[in-house]
Structure 1
Amino acid sequence: MQMNNGSKRQVSFNDPVVRALLFQILIVAAVVTMGWTLYQNTYTNLVHRGITSGFAFLENSAGFGVAQHLISYKEADSYARVFVIGLLNTLLVTLIGVILATILGFIVGVSRLSKNWIIAKLATVYVEVFRNIPPLLQILFWYFAVFLTMPGPRSSHNFGDIFFVSSRGLNMPAAQIADGFWAFVVSVVMAIVTIVLMCRWANKRFEATGVPFHKFWVGLALLLVIPALCALIFGAPLHWEMPTLQGFNFIGGWVLIPELLALTLALTVYTAAFIAEIVRSGIKSVSHGQTEAAHSLGLRNGPTLRKVIIPQALRVIIPPLTSQYLNLAKNSSLAAGIGYPEMVSLFAGTVLNQTGQAIEVIAITMSVYLAISISISLLMNWYNKRIALIER
């Protein structure tokens, strides 16, 4: 294609720009046509079967109980509140699983590179066993073979008269807000701000003089001392309600139901096996010369790993680690196998069966998992860009 002065541009199929534009128009037209056809067929079938559509059913009373709810709930509440409860339960499992799997995965990943033969082999066995067993089977194992086989509340395992583990779950003290709560919150915020300012000052001082500062211990002291002084002045921020055995069950306190414990433990153990391999490969990607250089400066193995190896390995670890977080969030839907009231089991299961609004319920459930996955991806991508190497 050529363009001469005073001449019009000729449109030719041999022009790659024209071909690309044409193909994009055809693809968009095909997608729109398929979407419109699917909508018309679905709407026609719903009309013929007399099935109403829309989201008005969310205002109707649910009429059933929920085993675990992080907010107040009664059977007369609406399906919309049931949706919120299912969403919160899903987020609870995802958050706890991500934190525990990350900690366990990093420990196992580093252990696989240990010079201690026993530790390295035990870490290898852990990875090879748990990552090769389907997560649903692991969930069923922890639920039926571990938690449901525990003794009843009267014969529960007692840990210091504070924690009680039985076939009903884990009973623990419940925190209740006291008079000094908000003052305590302000003191914690003040302590965090002070720690941030202290770390910035310590970093500038180290860059200027080369003299290190014990940021960890000073920060820990600030985080403990400032809120403690606030509690002494304004009173305790929380009161603790202890669980007590009455009849055949515990009364008071918090209870983590067996379904939650089994699901969280299974997803943590399963995902940590993959994270361990990601951590191991990330550490191995760092040149051994970095370790030798750190040792030549007098750093021991621990500080070398924390301050030299891990910060460089994170640039390799973060992208695949994001995929594991997404898998954990989506694998939480396997809770339907043991009846834990999360989105799939509670909303796409019970609510769908009661209302018959299959399209709306499934659309809402899919949108929730899509939103959770996109949020995790955005957060991890932001962190990945923040730690990326800056070209000079």
Structure 2
Amino acid sequence: MCQNSGVVNMGPGEVQVKEIDYPKLALGDRKCEHGVILKVVSTNICGSDQHMVRGRTTAPSGLVLGHEITGLVLEKGRDVEFINVGDIVSVPFNIACGRCRNCKEGKTGICLNVNPARPGAAYGYVDMGGWVGGQSEYVMVPYADFNLLKFPDNEKALAYIRDLTLLSDIFPTGFHGAVTAGVGPGSTVYVAGAGPVGLACAASCHLLGAAVVIVGDLNEERLAQAKSFRCETINLNSDTPLAEQIAQIVGEPEVDCFVDCVGFEARAHSHGGESEEQPAVVLNQAMEITRAGGSIGIPGLYVTEDPGATDAAAKVGSLKIRFGLGWAKSHCFHTGQCPVMKYHRPLMNAILYDKIKIADAVNVQVISLKDAPKGYQDFDKGAVTKFVIDPHGMIPI
């Protein structure tokens, strides 16, 4: 039997690469004939993983992390008809059965059958069904025919793997945030957050034809990365109000579309020069600077339980937002997991036909599996990098 190693959450502030079980085509005691076993080609460290590692969720110690997976099919169940051994595939981070009402409506982020606790599931994530994560050498994926995106050519897939690896989550998630915010030709857009999802969203806004894409963040290095692909930027450490800074760029203190790529660990600049945690600050900024009738996309993560929150209300996901302002301005809010399958095929084509260089936009850096703990540490310190783990040395240099 092949050995397997994976990145394991050891408790707040610590991950380790440990020996884990080699995957089986099984769901408990039942054979999983609709699943496949993958040799992991690439798997990425996500900001959502960091929430768990920081102790900001109820994720247990011992959880194998990783929901961004691209892999080579090694074995398949007898019910898998259209995916074959030897295919290289992208794995949506949402696990979806393809059979329930929500899946049939395209709402694969809230599948009703893959998580007994709530709608929606993901690999290696707290409260998302207990599925083993894919920051590992090998992983099992269920409902393969429905979930997996097969790349048309393995050789070309490996040549573009730094870009294609982002199809499992952050590229569709950023794109989804832009789409749900109503971004289109000629739009003015504000993207809150210049982490990997925010950068992927900003690049997606350009792909959708936005006239002006403004990215705001507290990290000057991340803002420099946004500037590298034609974004306007706002350093939120400034004492100048956000609306005034918006007006300096577009001539008025508001934008057509707003995308929250920050989520519940949002921080705000204080007059003392430090940033303090304010979990609702981005949502309130969204209502302030989005024009009346505009839309607000919220791909940034918000949770129902946050043990490390600054107040009792936030510990259970209750935030102080000025919802009356949003109502008065007839804003449209769109929240929740991105339904990756809605977007990953056309975004794959955009990559393969050189319409976007998404790996350059988010500054992909390839690391080995053994270096994953250091990748987590560097990312937590604000590294302007999307860390992509290469467990088997398959990614071309």
Band the TM-score falls in, shorter-chain normalisation? under 0.3
Which structure has more relative contact order (CA 8 Å, sep 6+)? It is: 1
Q: Report which of the two has the higher share of helix.
A: 1
Greater gyration radius: 1
TM-score w.r.t. the length of structure 1 is 0.21
TM-score w.r.t. the length of structure 2 is 0.20
Q: Report which of the two has the higher share of strand.
A: 2
